[in-house]
Structure 1
Amino acid sequence: MSKPSPNPRYVLLRYLSGALLFRVVFCSCVLVSLLEILALLEQTTPILQRHLGILGIFNYACMRLPFLLSGALPLSTLIGALLMLTQMTLASEIAILRAAGLSTLGLYKYLVPATLLIGLAGIVLDDQVTPRSEQALAAWWNRTDPTPEDGHSFWFHEGSSLTHIGHVADGGNILGTVDVYMRDANRMLNKTLHAQTAHYTGAHGWTLYNVEGLDVDLRDQKVDRLEHQADMPWHTTLAPRDFIRLSSGNAPLSTATIIGMLRGQLASDSSPGFLRAGLIERFLRPASLLVLLLIAMPVIYIPPRTGTRSWLPVWCLGAGLLFIVVQGLLRAMGNAGLLPPPVATVPTLIIFTLGALTVLLRNETR
């Protein structure tokens, strides 16, 4: 008995998905390689000054890789789609598919599964891989820093308390100049603590050294100086890795960490708007890639006689770059609190989707 022939639809789906995935992976490798080279040109001298050698350069490149890949994914998807569709158009494959009855919408539907797969991979990368790699990189960089006291200071809030840290050393196990401002249930200051250093031991937790403080009663306008203590336990839920994260500024965060910050269960140095915008943008990653794919679709209308002389791929590339820039600009405004998180993330998708659909419909009616 002869084997049944495969469904032509699945054959076409596998062919288009494989072609798109191959080109996106190829573009990602090229872009990430360029970004790695630029990053190493900047960081090789500090790495060698710390006597970390070739192994240190290799460690830095490996731990930085997920962050660079996450940033290059949208542009890789855009360029990969443009390359695939342009090559298919110039090779008359699009004309053959159209003659077989495949519409532009049908072609887009065949490319959606691969694009969604790339988007889901981006979500996993942003949510699980990048936060861990950046955490490991920040801890390694801090641990090998010969002058950690020159690091920047930072503030964070934990529950009702505000804390200022002068610097972080030894991969987060040592803190310099710790100032804790404790507040009551009414958010009124009632106690302050100032310590020269804080050390972490796994068995006993955090210990503050050379501690001075004030007992404050704002209602009665009284301030009493607390007795100096050579050392005292510091009851905080933060571990050394948390201080590394806080000292890194806007470090990548997992979804669980963001939700914990929004609920007040984890210490945070970011505004709620910044956290909500990051959460919304992360789960809209597949939608963003679908918009970039839609922006690349007009290249299938390149006239056969024009060939590689057509400016259509350039215009599509420019439109995709504009989408990425506008999306980043609105996100920055959302981070600064100038726009609500939904307004900073969703309108860009809608505007560019409508614009791309307008271009496609205009070409269809010609």
Structure 2
Amino acid sequence: MRLGGYVLRLVALRILGAAAILLAVLQILDLLEVTPEIVERGLGLAGIVQYAALRLPRLIDQAAPLAVLAGGIFAFMKLAGDSEIVAMRASGVSAYKLVAMALPAALAVVVIDFAAVELVAPRTDPALQSWWRATAPPAPAADPKPKAFRVGGDVVSAATTDLTGRSLKDVRIYRRDAGGRLTERIDAANATWAPGGWRLANPRFVRFNAAGASSGQAATITWTAAFEPADVQSLFFGEQTISAASAGRALAGGGAQRPDSYYATRLQRSIASPLGGLIMLLLAAPIALASFRSSQGAMFVTASLGAGLMFLVADGLLAALGESGAVSPLLAAWTAPLVFAALGATALIQLEG
């Protein structure tokens, strides 16, 4: 077996093992809370499996960076502990080449993490909500509570029980001019999505201008097309983390309940966050150059593990600051990845010396 293939296989198997253990732990913790209710609903083992499958994309996002960190640490510990690194370096293999050999395993995790969050989760989240509501015990019907949100410059209040996001009830739209002054209020009992926008049924409207207010009614009005059923699902049925596509639509005039800084930060993090796997590999790499015949090995393992956990804490803290508008979205998304990547690279360069 070629050296590159051996190193890649070693790292990939340990990342896979770490990911399996982390996902199992996260699934167990998640199921501890919901399993009694699943059993009470009579869904049995099939229900537990279905719930776990629909929750899996979100758990992959939580486990991915830690899996690379743990897998990298164990792989480089083995190479250093068995003195295989000594033989590699004697044959001219540098620490940089060693990291390059392991890089495809971390890149695979980056791709899987991105696909889970941006492609799979936006589909499994509504499916989980729909299945959970459909299997709930019969209960007296309750009127849905309206929610207020922004669509471009308009302020909207509406309610829905439609899990597909294609219909709204008790719609009230407050239209504003560029200065934020109210120019029109539209009320409609129902709104239905159709190509080209939302069809408001028998809407009543009141228009405001310098001369006063005028009211009227129409058979139907087509309202904005920027607000899509996917945005309704996100607003009313609680995606844990909105996709980059939903964030982009919110900034372009789609439905938004939060400040623009939240959606702008989410767009930046859709790229920056999956790259955490590469940073974790870089933070684990110095372990390969440690001497495990002394206390140096334990020190390097502790330092790599601590740096990885500090990266996760700093990244989460900056993301929260960016979402609240305290720092710019660009700084919030990229400061921690760039700083910790620089720290890992600096440590590797000094050790390679």
TM-score range for the pair, normalised by the shorter chain length: 0.7 to 0.9
1:46-65 paired onto structure 2 within 5 Å: 46-65=37-56
Aligned length in residues: 349
Letter in 2 for 1:278: R
For residues 231 and 342 of structure 2, the distance between their equivalents in structure 1, rounded to whole angstroms, comes to 43
Structure 2 SS opposite 1:101: coil
2:174 aligns to what SS in structure 1? strand
Matched, 1:299 2:287: yes
Deviation (angstroms), 1:147: 6.5
1:72 is matched with which residue? 63
For 2:248, the equivalent position in structure 1 comes to: 259
For the residue of structure 2 that corresponds to 1:168, the secondary structure is coil
Shift of 1:148: 7.3
In structure 2, what is the Cα distance between the partners aligned to 1:194 and 1:49? 42
SS in 1 for 2:161: strand
Match of 1:180 in 2: 173
What does residue 349 of structure 1 align with? Answer: 337
Moved more, 313-322 or 252-261: 252-261
Whether the aligned pair in 2 keeps the contact of 1:148 and 1:167 (CA below 8 Å) is no
Matched letter for residue 181 of structure 1: Y
> What does the per-residue CA deviation read over 1:263-320, in whole Å, with 9 as the maximum and x for residues that have no partner?
33x3333433222322222223454322211111221233232389824312211110
Task: Using the aligned pairs only, state the percent identity.
Answer: 28
Name the counterpart of 1:137: 128
* TM-superposed deviation, 1:94: 1.3
Match of 1:115, as an amino acid? A
Query: Could you tell me which amino acid in structure 2 is paired with residue 168 of structure 1?
Result: T
Q: CA RMSD in A?
A: 3.4
Q: Equivalents in 2 of 1:92, 1:308: separation in Å?
A: 14
What is the CA–CA distance in structure 2 between the aligned matches of 1:169 and 1:316, rounded to whole Å? 48
What is the one-letter code of the residue matched to 1:191? E
Go from structure 1 to structure 2 and tell me whether the alpha carbon gap of 1:54 and 1:114 turns closer, same or farther (over 3 Å shift): closer
Matching residue within 235, 244, 247 for 2:233:
244
Per the alignment, do residues 116 and 212 of structure 1 end up closer, same or farther by CA in structure 2, a change over 3 Å counting?
closer
2:97 maps to 1:113: no
The amino acid across from 1:248 in the alignment is F
Q: After superposition, what is the alpha-carbon deviation per residue over 1:336-366, rounded to whole angstroms, capped at 9, x for unaligned? A: 111111111222122222322343344445x
CA distance in 2, matches of 1:12, 1:152: 62
Q: Which residue of 2 aligns with 1:268?
A: 256
- How far apart, in 2, do the equivalents of 1:360 and 1:100 lie? 19
Whole-angstrom CA distance in 2 between matches of 1:281 and 1:17: 28
The reply on whether 1:313 has 2:301 as its aligned counterpart is yes
CA-CA distance at 1:162 after TM superposition? 1.9
Give per-residue Cα distances to partners, 1:147-168, cap 9 Å, x unaligned. 7748765333234422123453
- Return the alpha-carbon distance in structure 2 between the equivalents of residues 317 and 73 of structure 1: 15
TM-score by length of 2: 0.83
Match of 1:95 in 2: 86
> How many angstroms apart in 2 are the aligned matches of 1:126 and 1:352?
23
Asked whether the equivalents of residues 206 and 215 of structure 2 are also in contact (C-alpha less than 8 Å), the reply is yes
**TM-score, normalised via structure 1 length:** 0.80
Unaligned runs of 5+ in 2: none
1:223 Cα deviation from its structure 2 partner: 4.6
Contact 2:193/2:229 (CA < 8 Å) preserved in 1?
Answer: no
Q: Does 1:161 align with 2:150?
A: no
Unaligned runs of 5+ in 1: 1-7
Whether the aligned pair in 1 keeps the contact of 2:15 and 2:71 (CA below 8 Å) is yes
Distance 2:284 2:36 in 1: 40
In structure 2, what is the equivalent of residue 189 of structure 1? 182
Whole-angstrom distance in 1 between the partners of 2:326 and 2:49: 40
* Distance in 1, Cα, partners of 2:274 & 2:203: 52
Q: Tell me the distance in 2 between the aligned counterparts of 1:151 and 1:68.
A: 30
CA contact (8 A) 1:131 1:251 kept: no
Structure 1 window deviating more from structure 2 (281-290 vs 232-241): it is 232-241
Q: Which whole-Å CA distance do the structure 2 matches of 1:156 and 1:355 have between them?
A: 42
Matching residue's letter, 1:333: L
- The worse-fitting range, judged by mean Cα deviation, of 62-71 and 108-117 is 108-117
- Mark the CA change 1:54 to 1:286 in structure 2 (over 3 Å): closer, same or farther: closer
Q: CA deviation at 1:225?
A: 6.4
- What displacement does 1:30 show? 1.2
| Amino acid aligned to 2:234 | R
Q: Note the C-alpha offset of 1:194.
A: 4.5
2:319 counterpart (309, 328, 331) = 331
8 Å Cα contact 1:116/1:286 also seen in 2: no
* 8 A Cα contact 1:156 1:163, kept in partner: yes
Question: Given that residues 203 and 221 in structure 2 are in contact (C-alpha distance below 8 angstroms), is that contact kept between their aligned partners in structure 1?
Answer: no
**Per the alignment, do residues 14 and 63 of structure 1 end up closer, same or farther by CA in structure 2, a change over 3 Å counting?**
same
**Cα distance in 1, alignment partners of residues 279 and 263 from structure 2:** 24
Cα deviation, residue 333, structure 1: 0.6
Distance 1:240 1:278, change over 3 A: closer
Q: Secondary structure of 1:181's match? A: strand
Contact 1:168 1:244 in 2 (8 A): no
> 1:31 and 2:29 equivalent?
no
